[in-house]
Chains A and B, each alone.
Chain A
Amino acid sequence: MSDIFTLGIDVGSTASKCIIMRNGEEIVAKSLIDVGAGTSGPQRAIEAVLEDAGMKKEDMAYTLATGYGRTSLMDGIADKQMSELSCHAKGASFLFPNVHTVIDIGGQDVKVLHIDNGAMTNFQMNDKCAAGTGRFLDVMARVLEVKVEDLGRLGAMSKKKVGISSTCTVFAESEVISQLSMGTDKCDIIDGIHRSVAHRVTGLAHRIGVVPDVVMTGGVAQNTGVVKALQEELGCPIKTSPLTQYNGALGAALLAWQAASRRR
């Protein structure tokens, strides 16, 4: 029987990610473009992943879109679209078979999923507020004049605890500016920001209960400072993967494979 290739596309608010899988078992290629919904990002990510795999779009047995901009791909590109929550649940279960809690911090929202036997049985999302999201970290990095990818490393060098409000991005930004004007060390402020994010996310996670194994997905999981702060707040270890930012696309490719198998 010939191989089945499936394409998962995760069009997030700040990045577009693609994964091609063979038979729902092996990742053949992946791509990431740093712009998301409403931009050229999705198209460029698709072109990049196909080039990486040396394949054509026609070689894909099934294409499934997810993420904030998922519906924009239903115009002839994707066969189906699904919510990123279902895809993150699927992706995390593939990477960590014993997962029961997924914390996904993306560009503009936070989601906590409860997983039983690989299926999502409950979830919580943040309300209409940027606090605790990737956008929150972007705003803070800009004010601090550091790169967002350096936040984890810089926060680890903190020597003193600084409290940052966890209630509102706008007010937290003012707090950071105020701390900077008082001469507070940037590393201490960054550490305070990470704890602020962790505090916010923990409140959301406790609404549905935190059951190990806990897995963190989404772009913010690459920030070691947030992961460490979250572990301390939750009081349990958190697993992450180098594929964390691709987790939604991975879940989409896996669900695409399931759909393609049913079609056969």
Chain B
Amino acid sequence: MSINALLDEFKGKAATPKQQLAEYKAQGKKVIGVLPYFAPEELVYAAGMVPMGIWGSNTKTISRAKEYCATFYCTIAQLALEMLLDGTMDGLDGIITPTICDTLRPMSQNYRVSMGDKMKVIFLAHPQNRFEDFGLQFCVDQYNHVKADLEEVCGHKIEDAAIQDAIRVYNKSRAARREFVKLASEHCDVITPTLRSAVLKAFFFMEKPAYTAKLEELNAELKKLPVCDWQGTKVVTSGIICDNPKLLEIFEENHIAIAADDVAHESRAFRVDAPEDEKDPVMALAKQFANQDYDVLLYDPKSSENRRADFVVNMVKESGAQGLVLFMQQFCDPEEMEYPYLKKALNDAGIPHIKLGIDQQMRDFGQASTAIQAFADVLELQK
């Protein structure tokens, strides 16, 4: 397939999760919704079911979810519940509800209460101390609870061999996405910010082997192209999610390409592989979680060293970007509390940045457009 045909396919998949859910159901498959963040999707795949990521919506407004949610919950969590309540996700056979932040923790109970008998709601608590033996064991226990609940939904035991296979499938997908991110920067004339987002977003809805095969095909085609001589500017993006095409189009209008990202919905989701040589595959998944790092949602025993901010600063320097755009999700406490440290590190390194306040109910981007356009002018001075 040509690059354009592949990109069109990813774009289509990224925009039509409901249609794909219906297709999976029509094929007799069971589908599990996976809420952010760090859920061991491999277990769903190993169970022979289809995992679908639920990261809110850019087209819906919060209405029914208000019955359950405090006003200061982020729109990602509220709109996820909205879709579970308004029928959008009615085909799901279950959902996994991780509890890694102060919003997702109570939201896990809102999901449980509101869904009632409609679908299986699978609770997941990750350990704060994820490195120590007791943390790893806690994580294994939690994942085994998730595994048992999934077995109840799929109606059979999930074998170790199936989990080992799932780990290989997911590692392959993560490697392909990491390579794509690198190629997207080298070929940013072809892979615009909206297309880059669509390709990465499609992962959450497509069946993983099919997704990876398509992405490897796209990567192979991109490698054949000469590295583009980009005359615009480049940034690193950071935040929880920035998948709104209207917002990303503003980057394109101002000739700003994305060199790399520190976004939870994008690269933070595929930085770390699970070990393939671990005897107990559930322990392998726990170790994968333990090896996650530089994330605002994770406990850092060395937080006083500002390691995360240094990591992001290095990402900007190494990627050849001139600056950073932080998508600050409204009411996201972890990101807000992290920001002063990130700001200090960026300022100390002389890296310009802007913080754009966003939420998934935004429909007018006039102010963001002004800020991004002005930022493009500032970045030109850095070239």
Contact = CB atoms under 8 A, between A and B. Distances in A.
B371 interface: yes
B357 A127 contact: yes
A136 interface: no
Contacts of A109: 367, 370
A119 B370 contact: no
Given A82-B373, A83-B373, A121-B352, A128 B367 contact: yes
B374 A83 contact: yes
Nearest to B352: A122
B370 A85 contact: yes
Contact of B377 (A86, A125, A127, A128): A86
B370 A83 contact: yes
B201 to A, nearest CB: 25
Given A122-B352, A127-B357, A83 B367 contact: no
B381 A121 contact: yes
Nearest to B376: A83
Nearest to A129: B357
Interface residues on A, range: 10 to 19
Interface string B356-383: 0100000000110011011101100100
A82 B370 CA distance: 9
Interface residues of B, number: 13
A124 to B, nearest CB: 9
A62 interface: no
A68 B375 CA distance: 16
- Looking at chain B's contact residues, the main secondary structure is helix
Contacts of A120: 374, 377-378
B366 A123 contact: no
Interface in A219-251: none
A82 B366 CA distance: 13
Contact of B374 (A68, A86, A127): A86
25 contacts: A68-B366, A82-B373, A82-B377, A83-B373, A83-B374, A83-B377, A84-B370, A85-B370, A85-B371, A85-B373, A85-B374, A86-B373, A86-B377, A109-B370, A120-B374, A120-B378, A121-B381, A122-B378, A123-B354, A123-B375, A123-B378, A125-B370, A125-B371, A127-B357, A128-B357
Given A122-B378, A127-B357, A128-B367, 8 more contacts: A85-B370, A85-B371, A109-B370, A121-B352, A123-B378, A125-B367, A125-B370, A125-B371
Interface of B: 352, 354, 357, 366-367, 370-371, 373-375, 377-378, 381
Interface of A: 68, 82-86, 109, 119-123, 125, 127-128
